[in-house]
Structure 1
C-alpha cells in the first residue's frame, strides 16, 4: 500500500492509503525516506489561500483566469523536497547509462508519499552525491530557490545585501549571499531566527518589529542604503520595507509567495522616488540573462555540491523529523507556532 499525505480542506490533513500503481514503461519506483515540508508554498494550500484554489492558470497566455479552480480539495501529495531509494526500474531501463539504478539514493519531486513513480529521464543527474547524508537531499529544491534569488540579485563582491525573512530559505539565502561576497544584514521578526542568521553568515541583524530597518541599513552603509535586498518571507510589509531599504537604483528581489491583495505595499513612496529595481524570482526559471548557462537543474545540483563540500550546512536547519503518520501535527506547528520550528521533515 502507498501512503499519501493530503489536505482534505483548509487546515485539514489526513494520511490516505492506496494500492501501489503498476510501474509504467520508462519509469522508476522510489521508496521515500524523507520529504521536507515547505513552510511557504505548501502552507498556502493548507490554509486555503493558494490562487490555484480559486482561479485557473493558463500556461499559454501566462495569465490566471477567473471562473474555475485549478485545483480542488483533496489536494494530495503536495511537496517538492523528497529523497529516497530506487526499488524498481522498468526492464528497458536496466543498465542504461546516466540513469539511477535500483539501490541508488536519489532526490527529486514526487510529493509527500511513501513511494514515487517517476519518469526515469526526470531523475537523470539526481543520484545523491557520494558521502552526503540522505536527509540533505531533501534540501535540493529549497536550496535552489535561495540560490535563484541570489542570482537574481546580481550580488557583487563587497556589496551590502539585506535578506528579509530568516526561515529555512532565508537562512540559505543569507549563507549563499555571504559566499558570493556580500556583507549581509538579516531581517526577521523572531530573535531566535536572527541568532541563526549570525551562524549562517549575517554581518548584522535587525528585528522587523522593534528596529527601524530602512534607517538602520542606511546607518550601516554611510547613508546609501543596501545595494540589494532579497525579500523571501512573502509578507507585503516586508517587501515594502525592502524597497525602502535600498539605495537609489538598488535591486529588490521579491522571492516570496505573496498571497491576496498587497496591503502595506506603497509603490508611490521610496520605490518611485529612489527608482528601485523590483525583480521577481520564482523557481520555474532562472534570471533571463543567465538562461544560456544556468537552469533549475544546475541550481539544484550545484547547491547539493556545495553542501557535500561543507560550504553550506543544512543539517542544523532540521528542527523536527516527524513520522508521516503525524503530518497533521507538523502542519499545525508550522502554521501556529513558527518560532518553534525551522525545517520539518516527514519520515516514511
Structure 2
C-alpha cells in the first residue's frame, strides 16, 4: 500500500497507508525514491506556527489545501514513473522525475507538472532542486552589483546555496552569519570572506567589519559603512532587526524567511529612519515584476538545473531516514537543529 506522511497536530506526524489509484488521463504515477525536508517551512507546520486558514501553496496543485491538520506537506519528491494514464506517451515509463509533491511513497500528477531528471543528476541531489531555485530567485531579487558588500543571515541549505551563488560575484566582501560553527565553516568554503556568530549586536559587528576589517573603533555608528545588500534567511524573526542594523545608507534587505505566525519586532526609530533602507520580501512562487517581461518560471528553472549541477547540494545531506522514521527526523530538526542540515527521506 502507498504510504503518506501526515502532520496531525503540533509536533506529531503519522505515516498512513492510502489506496493506490491508477493515473487519470494525462497523468503519471510516480514511485518515490527520495524526498527532501525543507526545515524552515516544514518546522513551522510541525510546530503549528502557520496560519491555519492560509493556502499551503496556491501555485502547486498537490498543495492546494490549507494548513489545517491533518495535512500532507512537502514539495521535493524524486522517483520513477511506474504507470502512465491515457494520453501519456509510454516513453515516460521508468523515467526519473521530480515533482513538487508531499512526502509519500507514490503519487499521481499531470505529466506537465513533473520534470524529467537529467541523467547526470542523482535522486538525492535533485530533491534539493526547490532550494536551488529559491537561491536563484533570491539572488535575482537582490541584484548584487560589482564591488558591493553583501551579508547573509542564516546558513541552512538555502543560505549556503545563496552564499555559494553570491561568492561567484565580484563583490567587495561577503559575510555570512549563523549560530552553528559547522555551518559557518561551510560558508567560508563556499566563498564567504568572513563568518560570524549572530549573537550580540550582530549589525554593529558587521558594520565594523566593513569599516576597518573588524577592529573596534570609536567611530559613531551613523558614520560606519554598512552592507549594500543583506539577506535574512535564518527563519528567526529577531534576525530581521539585526539584518536591518547591518545595512548601510540606501541599502537593500531581502527577506527570504517565512516566519509563519511568529511576529518580528523591529527597531525602526534609529538608523533605519534616516538611512533609507529598503526591506522587501522574496518568495519563489513568483518572478520579480521587473523581470517578468524576459523571465519565466521555466527559464529560471533551467538556471536552477545548471546551478544544481554546479553546487552539488547532496554534500549538505547530514541525515537520511526511512519514511517510517519521519517522527525521528522532525524531532531531530526541532530539538537538536545544530546536528542536522540536509535531511532526506528514503522510500
The structural deviation recorded for 1:218 is 2.0
Query: Which piece of structure 1 moves more, 12-21 or 179-188?
Result: 179-188
Query: Which piece of structure 1 moves more, 238-247 or 256-265?
Result: 256-265
Count of residue pairs the alignment pairs up: 328
Partner residue, 2:122: 133
The structural deviation recorded for 1:73 is 1.3
The structural deviation recorded for 1:181 is 3.1
DSSP 3-state at the match of 1:34: strand
The structural deviation recorded for 1:324 is 0.5
Partner residue, 1:154: 143
CA offset digits 1:185-228 (Å, max 9, x no partner): 00111212111111221111111115x32223223323321110
Whole-Å separation in 2 of the counterparts to 1:263 and 1:90 = 47
Matched, 1:82 2:82: no
Q: In 2, are the aligned partners of 1:152 and 1:279 still within 8 Å (CA)?
A: no
Matched, 1:72 2:68: yes
CA offset digits 1:66-100 (Å, max 9, x no partner): xxx94321112x111111111111231116xxxx7
Query: Which piece of structure 1 moves more, 288-297 or 169-178?
Result: 288-297
Whole-Å separation in 2 of the counterparts to 1:254 and 1:58 = 19
DSSP 3-state at the match of 2:343: strand
Partner residue, 1:321: 320
Matched, 1:294 2:290: no
DSSP 3-state at the match of 1:28: strand
The structural deviation recorded for 1:43 is 1.0
Q: In 2, are the aligned partners of 1:155 and 1:181 still within 8 Å (CA)?
A: no
The structural deviation recorded for 1:265 is 1.6
The 5 A counterparts of 1:21-100 are 21-51=21-51, 53=52, 55-56=53-54, 70-76=66-72, 78-94=73-89
Partner residue, 1:164: 153
The structural deviation recorded for 1:259 is 3.0
Query: Given the superposition, is the C-alpha separation of residues 163 and 248 from structure 1 closer, same or farther in structure 2, using an over 3 Å criterion?
Result: same
Partner residue, 1:190: 180
Q: In 1, are the aligned partners of 2:129 and 2:308 still within 8 Å (CA)?
A: no
Whole-Å separation in 2 of the counterparts to 1:298 and 1:83 = 21
- Stretches of structure 2 that go unaligned for 5 or more consecutive residues are 59-64, 212-223
Whole-Å separation in 2 of the counterparts to 1:261 and 1:324 = 29
- Stretches of structure 1 that go unaligned for 5 or more consecutive residues are 61-68
The structural deviation recorded for 1:258 is 1.4
Partner residue, 2:220: none
Whole-Å separation in 1 of the counterparts to 2:67 and 2:21 = 22
The structural deviation recorded for 1:42 is 1.0
Query: Given the superposition, is the C-alpha separation of residues 56 and 37 from structure 1 closer, same or farther in structure 2, using an over 3 Å criterion?
Result: closer
Whole-Å separation in 2 of the counterparts to 1:109 and 1:338 = 25
Whole-Å separation in 1 of the counterparts to 2:301 and 2:174 = 23
Aligned CA-pair RMSD? 2.0
The structural deviation recorded for 1:251 is 0.4
Whole-Å separation in 2 of the counterparts to 1:201 and 1:313 = 15
